[in-house]
Chain A
Amino acid sequence: MDKLQGRVWIFDDNVDTDQILPGYAMAEDASKLAAFAMAGSKVADFAKQVQAGDIIVAGKNFGCGSSREQAPVALKSAGVGMIIANSFARIFRRNSINIGLPVMLADVGAKLQNGEVVSVDLETGEIHTATGVLNGQPLSENVLATIRAGGLINRVRQELNISSGRKS
């Protein structure tokens, strides 16, 4: 599960959470959020076009703005396999990891084409294209452990069960 393959969607700098999941959709049930993924962005029909495993490749400060976890949940539910960006806003980055959606730092937007298929190794940070290899920042051990556990909740369960012996 540390290697992912998917089609690339290129986005610019400063894609904010109102673009990823607009305010009017925030109260929707989690099961319906996928339909609103990127509905406020320049690709308003993203949710209709996205395929399972697709990879968002963005510029700097992806996910800036609100703490709404609905934003990464919408992307993950719509099928987005991971997000690569020059930089992430802090809360969005942590939210994504906490729900088991991998995020990786890499400056590759200008080197990739929309729709191109790449495969990414989360452990090494290598991004394999049809013509070569680009380098991103490998995920830290701590982040990989959360992703492998399927998110923070499973990690907390593990920790609480270890410390208290409680069975849940």
Chain B
Amino acid sequence: MNFVERSLAEAAGLLTVTVGQDVRCRVDLALSHDVTAPIAIQQFEQIGVDRVFDPAKVVLVIDHIFPAATVQARTSHWIMKDFAAKYGVTLYSKSEGVCHQLISERHRLQPGQILVGADSHTCTAGGYGVIAIPVGSTELAAAMATGTIDLEVPETIEVFMTGELRPYVSGKDIVLSLMRQFGVDGLTDKAVLFTGPGIAQLPVEERMTVCNMGIEMGAMIACFGGEAKEEGVAASIPLDLTQIEPMAACPFSPANVRPVAELGDIAVTQVVVGSCTNGRLNDMEKVVNVLRSHKVHPDVNCLIIPASKQVLDAMEERGWTKILRDAGAVVANPGCGPCFGAHQGLGTERDTIVTTTNRNFPGRMGHRAAKLYLASPATAAESAVVGKITTPGTLQREVG
């Protein structure tokens, strides 16, 4: 058995499991947010139990639409507040951050534990070794009632990393390279397990970025294991990190990936840095490194959305928010920002947006014809200054 199978077996109270086996697993944390929680709450109350399985293991986060952009969004907040008060579960309701970042800071599970989250990017927790299962609202309701989840043991694909990343290349470029290789459904219903000596250079934050986009390849589970090769995987795919260059996913698919250097002259009207994919302190540092000595291009809106209050506090302490604002960027409150197209920076058909988020489907961030390029914070920052999609290192080499 590999790490994923060992973890599922342990959570199911079994000594062994095999691929395809149906298992009922213990849930260590159940997570939902203001888009998925209202339906989950409605479904939970349909079940007719009078308590959640363990109030300490149920977390609700208002991150998608805060402050409320519509009356209906605020109604969702109230549904969550009422539920939290009634059942004694934890609610974050004051822009403390994106749920995936927040639980990594305040409710961090151990490697191999089971997280069930009503959000597709629940897989982010795989960055610290958690078996994170993304579900919809009804399945989350069932998990809140029973403390269990029914799963089938997936086939595991190992990505065995070697080599050292080049300067200005980060976790986002790694996962975009994998997107190019696997496509949008290459890992459907599978687990992907990242191992190899190459992972040693990746801090947890970068590992979270890699796992975050596992769902964009269809994966059921994405997580980091150890540096050693795993036993009992369906396939082991080598990945030489030395070969990876700055990448961008072009309109309109996360798998439409090309090296930034090959994109040519593409004028940019908006840059977004943030989200559960790339809104952490290490991401912000890459932007500050550029905007410390350069101004945002006059034709570009540069939106910075820290993934959590803790990230924002650390930025403040370092004087980074002032640097970013003085360079012409806008620092918004922690949360999901415009990533999923509900508020805080939507585009029209005239916009070309470079964003560090995770999806560039048609209409994802406003108008169906708004062109979205997914890229790393380093690429986004230099593109914001130049006003065109720019390979990171271009400006910084000029200065150096």
Using CB atoms and an 8 Å cutoff, list the residues of chain A in contact with chain B.
14, 16, 18-19, 22-24, 26-30, 40, 60-61, 64-70, 72-73, 87, 89-91, 94-95, 98-99, 142, 151-153, 156-157, 159-160, 166, 168
Contact = CB atoms under 8 A, between A and B. Distances in A.
Given A27-B70, A27-B73, A157-B47, A18 B362 contact: yes
A138 to B, nearest CB: 17
A90 B218 contact: yes
Contacts of A91: 120, 134-136, 215
Interface in B171-210: 184-185, 188-189
A18 B188 contact: no
B138 interface: yes
A23 B137 CA distance: 16
A13 to B, nearest CB: 9
B233 interface: no
B185 A60 contact: yes
Contact of A18 (B39, B136, B220, B359): B359
Contacts of A69: 36, 39, 118, 136-138
B340 A40 contact: no
A52 to B, nearest CB: 22
B363 A40 contact: yes
Nearest to A154: B46
A69 B135 CA distance: 9
Which 8 A-B pairs have CB atoms at the shortest separation, nearest pair first? A168-B48, A23-B341, A95-B136, A69-B136, A98-B138, A61-B185, A23-B340, A67-B120
Nearest to A28: B72
Contact of B362 (A26, A27, A40): A40
Interface of B: 22, 34-36, 39, 42-43, 46-49, 64-65, 70, 72-73, 75-76, 118-120, 122, 134-139, 141-142, 145-146, 184-185, 188-189, 215-216, 218, 220, 253, 340-342, 359, 361-364, 368
B119 to A, nearest CB: 5
B30 to A, nearest CB: 13
Contacts of B146: 156, 159-160
Contacts of B70: 27
Contacts of A94: 135-136, 139
A64 B184 contact: yes
27 contacts: A14-B184, A14-B185, A23-B340, A23-B342, A23-B364, A24-B341, A26-B342, A27-B72, A27-B73, A29-B72, A30-B42, A40-B363, A64-B185, A65-B359, A67-B36, A69-B137, A70-B35, A89-B188, A90-B188, A90-B218, A91-B134, A95-B139, A99-B138, A153-B47, A156-B146, A157-B47, A160-B146
Given A26-B35, A27-B73, A67 B135 contact: yes
B145 A156 contact: yes
A158 to B, nearest CB: 10
A11 to B, nearest CB: 14
A153 B141 contact: yes
B47 A18 contact: no
Contacts of B135: 67, 91, 94-95
Contacts of A72: 136
Given A18-B361, A65-B359, A68-B136, 8 more contacts: A23-B363, A40-B368, A61-B188, A64-B184, A67-B119, A68-B35, A73-B39, A98-B138
Contact of A152 (B35, B72, B139): B139
B218 A89 contact: yes
B70 to A, nearest CB: 6
Contact of A66 (B43, B120, B142): B120
Contacts of B342: 23-24, 26-27
Nearest to A18: B361
A67 B99 CA distance: 14
Contacts of B218: 61, 64, 89-90
A64 B127 CA distance: 22
Nearest to A159: B146
